[in-house]
Amino acid sequence: MPDFCARGTLHKPSVPTWSALVYYSRTRSIKRSRLVYDMAAEQNPYMTERTGRRRGAHFAPQPTPAPEPPKKRRLKRILVILLALVLLAAGGCFVGWRVLGHGEALPGVSEILSRLGIGGRTVAIALDGEEVRIPVDSTVQEVFDLQQPAVTPGDLLSVSGGVLGEGKGEAFAAVLDGREVPFAEAGSTIVPEGATLSFSDGADITEDYTSETVTTSTPKLVRQVSEGTVESDLMQTGTVQYIYQWGKQGSKEVRTGSVSGETADGEVVEGQDCIIMCQDIRPDDDEKLVALTFDDGPTTYTEQYLQILDRYDVKATFNLIGEQVEDHAEAVRATCAADNQVASHGWNHPNLITLGEDDLRAQLTDTFDVIKRAADYDTSTIRAPYGIIDIDVWLRSGGRMSLSVCWTHDSEDWKLPGVDTIVSNCTGTMAPGSVILMHDGGGDRDQNLEALPRIIEAWQAAGYRFVTVEELMASDSSIPSECAATYRPMPEDATWPTEKAE
């Protein structure tokens, strides 16, 4: 037995080639054939190159790999086929993306089929006058992508109107069943079966921008006298003075483009002056209307006046002194409940032209507030104490009042001239639009209680109807209806002037 087989424990090779090698070596002399050595070295890696002997007795020779089973070969073929199909599908999706997606995100297979009109239910619509079929529940955007109508997209514009990018505006404009579809809603607006849809060129859009508001003008206070109204040096000019127009601050929006860096004017608000109109009341068609007014209330006389007015079905206007309201709150509530008009006569009957800004505004605001608390009645109407008011009073008022009422007939009842004189003073020179002044407080008013029925009867006998001042102003169409309102607070967007016009 050869040396390389004799050492150690002999493990019989399981490979036929190894067995042949052992047999061959036994029948030859100790001189080994080069062929045997080569074969042994090839079949047994554990033999040394020099001696041809094993490097260890515990190592088995490497077996010759068995041929692959048929099932494994079939599995490989299947994997190759599947890989080819995957590559083919990917190529098809890429082609669909290029042909149908036009550079958009890669669509899925179902989306490609939908765009091609295969797979899934379709409905008929009228598109630009022609019948077409689209996948059910398609949006306006999807119909546009599928049909590709020949429209031109809008441009991207700078804040000053220059073109920053052609075709970078809205892709199209759409009208669905007669209603314009905002471009931002095109992707969510479903096109129903039988709908009429049309596309047209897209709108331009403006670049994003930042903005700031710049003041361009401030209002001034302007006094105007209506045609036919006589100026007065001492007392209020005109039977009524009212805010004809509220002042507004002029401003403009300055926009700075985020892309172009350009600046341009945006929204512009035109400023306007505040106008105080002095005007006598002239009812349309000379309708016989007269207003009865009472100053210096409320007092203990108020309820008696209300009883007389109710007996003759007459409405009047009561101008209240603020500091007296809480003590006669019930009388104020009864006055309002009878649909009479209520206004301010100052907190404590001051001459308004002598007051500074803060005191004047307190006189107005405090009286309006106490009337509101007593009777839940809103008013911004006043009668200036002594009938004295000028443009400077209006300027200092800060917009707290909207209407000042004077008179045409002064009873002079405060002089206690006697009942006949009071009646005569209140009924002389009757004319449509007359305003009668009487007093509810400030002294003994027993003469007024006796004179009032006679005054009412005289005017009614002449064909006149008694109304509130608000109703009397409303009868004159030259006075804007909103200006006649008892309560007219300054609008939020108005600005009160700080100076008079020249």
Distance CA 291, CA 431 (A): 11
Phi, psi of 243 (to 5 degrees): -80, 105
Query: What 3-state class would DSSP assign to 145?
Result: helix
- Give the integer Cα–Cα distance in Å for 152 and 482: 50
Q: Token pair 């608390």 is at which residue?
A: 373
Kindly list the catalytic residues: 295, 439
The residue behind tokens 């300027």 is: 395
Q: d(Cα 488, Cα 501) in Å, to the nearest integer? A: 23
Nearest Cα residue to 468 out of 240, 235, 231: 240
The answer to whether 380 and 489 are in contact (CB under 8 A) is yes
Neighbours of 351 (CB within 10 A): 13
Is residue 191 a contact partner of residue 125, using CB atoms and an 8 Å limit? Answer: yes
Bridging pattern class, strands 434-439 and 465-467: unpaired
Residues 6+ apart with CB under 8 A from 372: 378
DSSP state of 139: B
Secondary structure class of 466 (helix, strand, coil): strand
Q: Which phi and psi angles does 381 have, rounded to 5°?
A: -100, 140
CA distance 258 to 210: 7
Length of the chain: 502
Backbone dihedral angles phi then psi of residue 264, each to the nearest 5 degrees: -155, 155
Residue 265 backbone zone (phi > 0: left; psi -120 to 50: alpha; other: beta): beta
**Of all helices (H) and strands (E), which one includes residue 291?**
strand 289-297
Select from 232, 241, 166, 175 the least CA-distant residue to 204. 166
Q: DSSP string covering 200-248, please?
A: EPPPPEEPPEEEEEEEEE---EEEEE-TTPPP-SSS-SSSEEEEEE--B
